[in-house]
Amino acid sequence: MFDEIRKEFPLLKSKLFERGLVYLDSAATTQKPQAVIDRLVQYYTKENANIHRGPYDLSVDATKLWEQAHQIVADFINAKSYKEIFFVRNTTEGLNFLVNTFGRKLLSDGDIVVISEMEHHSNIVSWMLLQKEIKFRIEYIPVKDDYTLDLDWLNDLVKKEGNKIKIVSVVHISNVLGVKNDVEKIFKIAKKVEAFTILDAAQSVARCKVDVKEIGCDALVFSGHKVYGPTGSGALYCNLKYLEELTPWMGGGEMVSTVTKDGFEYNELPWKFEAGTPDIGGGIVLGSAIEWLESKVSAIGGWDVLINHEQGLIGSFLNEFNGIEWFKHFGPDDISKKYGVIAFNIEGFTFRGCKDISKIESMKEGNGVIEFLNRKRIAFREGYHCAELLHDRFHTGPTIRFSLGIYSTQQDLKYAANSLKEAVLRGLN
Ligand SMILES: Cc1ncc(COP(=O)(O)O)c(C=O)c1O
C-alpha cells in the first residue's frame, strides 16, 4: 500500500534524477502528490477569480471552494466551526499573528510567556521581537535528559508565578528529536492560571491525529507545505470564544463589511482575519491535500498504521548503526517515542554553524560528508534546523537530519545509512 502511495509523487520518480532521489527532508517540506499538483493546475486553468467580491459565477464558485477549504481544515483538526479557522502563509506567519494579537492584548511588563527549550525559532524569535516593546519574561520549559519536557518544573512555575503566566506556547512534535510532547498535560497545567495556550502543530498534522478538543489548546498553527499541500498555504485555528473580541493584526479589504470616515465594521468570522487577497489557489488546494492525506490514512488503516510504519523505518535505520561508535543519535532510542525525524552527529566531524571553537579546531570539517551524501542524491538537512536552543541545551553542535514522509521506504533509509557509512569510512573532509 505504501508503495502505491509513493507512486503518486511525480518528483520521486522524475527522470530529472537519473540515479534516483532519496528524499529525506520532509520535515522541511513534503513532496506533492499528483492529485494535489493537478488540483492547483485545475484551479488556475478553470477556477481562478478573486473571492467574496465578484457577483459573477466564477467568483462565486471560487468563494465556495475557499470556504469549503476552511471547513475541511476545521474537520481535520476537529474544530467546532470553520469560523475558527483562517488561512495564513505558514506556521511562522500564524505564530507571529498570535504574538502580535494575543501577545499585545494579554501581556504587560513583568508578565510571563512560557515556551520550551525545544521550540522552532518561529516560536522563540517572534516573542523576542515583542519583548522589544513590552517587558515580559520568556520562561523555557527545560528538556530533560530523556528528551521529555519537565512538567514538574512547569507545575512549580505555575505555583510560584500564578497568573503572571499569560501565555503557554509549545511545539507538538519536535522537528529535531521527533518526540511528541504531552501537550494535553501541559495545557491542563497552563489552564490552572488561565493562560492562553498555543500549539505549534507544524510537524504533527501530517504524522498523527491532531484534535484540538482533545488536546485542549486555544490556538493551533500549521503549514500547508508540510502536509502535502502547496507552499504559501497554512492554517490557524483559534477557539471562537476569543475571536469575536480580538482586534485583527492587519487591516484592509476583505476583513471589513463597511467603511466610513468615522470608522468601519468588521466582516464576519473568519474573514475578519483575512485582510487582502489571500493565496486563493493555495488555500483551496490545502483543503485538497488534507482530503488526499485523509483518504490515504484511511486506506492504510488509520493513523496508527502510519505511525508504526514511520517508526519501523526509523528503527531499521538506527539498527544499521548498532555498535557503531561514531554515530550519535540525537533523541530517544526508544522508537515508539519517535515521529518521522532522525537527527544525529558523527563523532569527529563538525558541521556548518558550529560555535564550539575547540570542536572546530580538533575535528574534521563535515563538508566532505555533506557533499558525498548530496552526490548520492540524498536530500537532507544539516545545521540547527531552526532549533538552536535545543542543540545548545545538549551541547551537540549542529546535526544532520533525515526526515520521513508517507512515501519514505526501507530502501531509502538503507541507502542513506550505507551512504553515510561509506562517507565516514572514507574519512571525507
Ligand atoms: C516545529 C516547527 N515549527 C515551525 C516551523 C516553521 O514552519 P514554516 O517555515 O512553514 O513557517 C517549522 C518548520 O520546519 C517546524 O518544524
Residues 248 and 361 in one domain: no
Q: What is the mean pLDDT of the chain?
A: 96
Could you tell me if 104 and 113 are in contact, meaning their C-beta atoms sit under 8 angstroms apart?
A: no
Residues 78 and 180 in one domain: yes
Residue 426 included in any domain? no
User: For residue 178, how far is its CA from the centre of ligand 1 (angstroms)?
Assistant: 13
Per-residue pLDDT at 17 exceeds 90: no
Residues 249 and 333 in one domain: no
Residues 122 and 176 in one domain: yes
Q: What is the CATH number of the domain that holds 345?
A: 3.90.1150.10
Residues 16 and 94 in one domain: no
Tell me which residue has its CA closest to atom 7 in ligand 1: 91
User: For residue 265, how far is its CA from the centre of ligand 1 (angstroms)?
Assistant: 34
Please give the model's pTM, rounded to 2 decimal places.
0.97
Residues 118 and 266 in one domain: yes
pLDDT at 19: 65
Residues 10 and 66 in one domain: no
Residues 162 and 70 in one domain: yes
Torsion angle, CA of 336/341/346/350, rounded to 10 degrees? -140
Q: How confident is the model at residue 397 (pLDDT cuts 50, 70, 90)?
A: very high
pLDDT tens, 144-172?
A: 999 999 999 999 999 999 999 999 999 99
Residues 153 and 216 in one domain: yes
Check if 208 is active-site. no
Could you tell me if 70 and 82 are in contact, meaning their C-beta atoms sit under 8 angstroms apart?
A: yes
Phi and psi angles of residue 196, each rounded to the nearest 5 degrees, phi first:
-80, 130
Taking residues 80-102, what's their average pLDDT?
98
Residues 227 and 245 in one domain: yes
Place of cell 474537520: 75
pLDDT at 219: 98
Number of domains within the chain:
2
Among 270, 293, 316, the domain boundary falls at: 293
Taking residues 124-142, what's their average pLDDT?
98
Residue 427 included in any domain? no
Residue 345 included in any domain? yes
Residues at CB less than 6 angstroms from ligand 1: 27-28, 90-92, 120, 122, 171, 175, 200, 202-203, 223
Mapping DSSP to helix (H, G, I), strand (E, B) and coil, where does residue 303 land? helix
Residues 257 and 114 in one domain: yes
pLDDT at 361: 83
In 3-state terms, the chain is what percent helix, strand and coil (to 5)? 45, 20, 40
Among 244, 275, 293, the domain boundary falls at: 293
Residues 213 and 261 in one domain: yes
Ligand 1 pocket: which of 175, 198, 225 to mutate (most atoms <8 Å of CB)? 175
pLDDT tens, 289-329?
A: 999 999 999 999 999 999 999 999 999 999 999 999 999 99
Residue 134 included in any domain? yes
Tell me which residue has its CA closest to atom 16 in ligand 1: 175
pLDDT tens, 338-364?
A: 999 999 999 988 888 888 888 888 888
Q: What is the CATH number of the domain that holds 58?
A: 3.40.640.10
Torsion angle, CA of 333/337/341/342, rounded to 10 degrees? 0
User: For residue 124, how far is its CA from the centre of ligand 1 (angstroms)?
Assistant: 12
Taking residues 274-299, what's their average pLDDT?
97
Whether omega for the bond prior to residue 55 falls within 30 degrees of 0, making it cis, is no
Q: What does the DSSP assignment read for 116-157?
A: ETT--GGGTHHHHHHHTTS--EEEEEPBPTTSSB-HHHHHHH
Which range of residues forms the domain containing residue 349?
2-33+302-420
Question: Across the strands, what pairs with 236?
Answer: 86, 221
